[in-house]
Structure 1
Amino acid sequence: MMRRWFWVLCVVLSLHVVLAGRAFGQQTDPKLWEEIQALKRGQEEIRRQLLEIKQLIQACAAAAPAAPDIRIIPVDLGNHPTKGDSTAKLTLIEFSDYQCPYCGRHVRDTNPLLRKEYVETGKLRYVFFDMPLESIHKSAFKAAEATRCAGDQGKYWEMHERLFTNQQALEPWSAHARALGLDTARFDACMNTGRFAGAIRADMATAQMLGINSTPTFLVAVRDSGDPNKVKGLSLIRGAQPFATFKMEIDKALAANGADK
């Protein structure tokens, strides 16, 4: 008996909902009804625009240029200061920024291990290319100039190490010059005239050509058979990776190029 009344009640309630809905549709204020319809049209327009944006993003991704092939791009080492045997078959080029904290970490934690195992044993030539990220590191370009100007007096690597050790106190530049015993008048003249600005810009252009856009980035390269002062890339190591990552890439490159003895 109770069950029958339960079903009767359900039917009555259902009819009430249907009739109420019809009544709402018939009695709704025309202005409110138009606003509801406008909202629906707005939703459809938003959906259409989102679809167009999605299609545009997909088209841009498809049209994005492919990463450059570092294996076929010769890199001219020019007059860059180097460490290690100049005849080493393998070269490691570091693209770096004197204000970059990750670059500083690499110099402090990983570079000494690389020097000991590969550079000092004649397996690897190490070269530094300047890549100051000017948009976020306002002193990085002048820091690169400072190392070049110090190099003009035979103290490139000393200034290099000093600036990375003092990343939070890069300026005044003349203070570092005095600490290294440089001719400060000559150093200041070099800094003020921008003598090495063009060479630094050339390093930055090389990085762009190789598709390098962050620091530190390292190019593992092999000596060009046609020109001992040029190298061709084998692989890129991006970021301040641990020594184990460098060891894996370098050992693989040494073995592949018959230079692992």
Structure 2
Amino acid sequence: MRTRRDVLATTGAVGAGLLAGCASSGGNGGESDGDDTAESTTTRDLVDVDVPDDPDVTPVESLPTPVRGDPDAAVTVQVFEDYACPHCATYATEVMPRLVESYTQPGEIRYEHHDFPLPVSEEWSWAAANAARAVQDALDDAAFFEYTHTLFAHQDAYVGAGATGYDYLATVAADLGADLGADATTVVRAAKGGKYDPVLKADRQHGRDMGVRGTPTVFVNGTATDSPGYDAISSAIDEARST
């Protein structure tokens, strides 16, 4: 299946302002804007996993929300992302690390990842999210966030990469350590078979109920930030902490 990269400069109104990001439309036939996707620097050999294109999997109906930071913090940051959205890659590689350093590691916030497959790509918005949830299910939230960060940092290693994209998903899983349970074959089976689709669809519906129309969208204590940039999110966190 060919990847469709339907990337817009802005999305519809969400909360108090317009969010730069990705939105689904039928328009541009697979092109990206070319500026925000993190470049892949992968030079290692890829793990070759022999998994049929339509594997028989048992769907998983529910899975806990991936959380980092203090789960009981007074301030909750919710981020809705699509793994094929280049703006989400920019957020994940440039904004999120600063939030982790400033707020998550000190235990000032509860940080939640939410899946919102628009989908930017009919294949990879779902496949990469399924792979990441398989890692979460096999290991823990810490492994999930490590895996997710790597995928966003090397987004072009799977989006638009054809069959080798699944080899990349397998390689990143294998790097986490098969002895820890992140079996590459299991991850790719989940990615190809849509094992966690019910979880992703429920997350997407939750986002829609909150007013999400594009990715990335960030909420602080239930209120959408003016943008997914660090300054806007940081200001919202600081204001929430002071009230």
Does residue 148 of structure 2 align to residue 163 of structure 1?
A: no
Does residue 125 of structure 2 align to residue 129 of structure 1?
A: no
Shift of 1:250: 1.1
DSSP 3-state at the match of 1:128: strand
Does residue 174 of structure 2 align to residue 178 of structure 1?
A: yes
Shift of 1:246: 1.5
C-alpha change, 1:189 and 1:122, in structure 2 (3 Å) is same
Distance 1:149 1:120 in 2: 25
Paired AA for residue 210 in structure 1: M
Distance 1:240 1:211 in 2: 15
Q: Deviations over 1:167-217 (max 9, x none)?
A: 001212323323333322333343344221100000100111111111000
Which runs of 5 or more residues in structure 1 are unaligned?
1-66, 70-76, 222-232, 257-261
Tell whether the 8 Å contact from 1:68 to 1:209 is kept in structure 2 after alignment.
Answer: no
C-alpha change, 1:105 and 1:135, in structure 2 (3 Å) is closer
Shift of 1:137: 5.5
Shift of 1:218: 0.6
C-alpha change, 1:135 and 1:220, in structure 2 (3 Å) is same
Distance 1:254 1:78 in 2: 29
Paired AA for residue 116 in structure 1: E
Instruction: Give the structure with the larger helix fraction.
Output: 1
Which runs of 5 or more residues in structure 2 are unaligned?
1-13, 17-61, 159-164
Does residue 130 of structure 2 align to residue 145 of structure 1?
A: yes
Shift of 1:78: 6.6
Give the equivalent residue in structure 1 for 2:205. Answer: 205
Distance 1:180 1:196 in 2: 20
Give the equivalent residue in structure 2 for 1:246. Answer: 233
Distance 2:15 2:235 in 1: 23
DSSP 3-state at the match of 1:152: helix
Tell whether the 8 Å contact from 2:227 to 2:233 is kept in structure 1 after alignment.
Answer: no
TM-score by length of 1: 0.60
How many pairs are equivalent? 171
Paired AA for residue 124 in structure 1: I
Q: Which has the larger radius of gyration?
A: 1
Distance 1:177 1:78 in 2: 19
Paired AA for residue 175 in structure 2: A
Give identity over the alignment, percent.
27
Distance 1:138 1:195 in 2: 14
DSSP 3-state at the match of 2:215: coil
Q: Which moved more, 1:133-142 or 1:153-162?
A: 133-142
Paired AA for residue 197 in structure 2: A
Distance 1:81 1:136 in 2: 22
Superposition misfits of 4+ residues, deviation over 6 angstroms:
none
Paired AA for residue 253 in structure 1: A
C-alpha change, 1:205 and 1:245, in structure 2 (3 Å) is same
TM-score by length of 2: 0.64
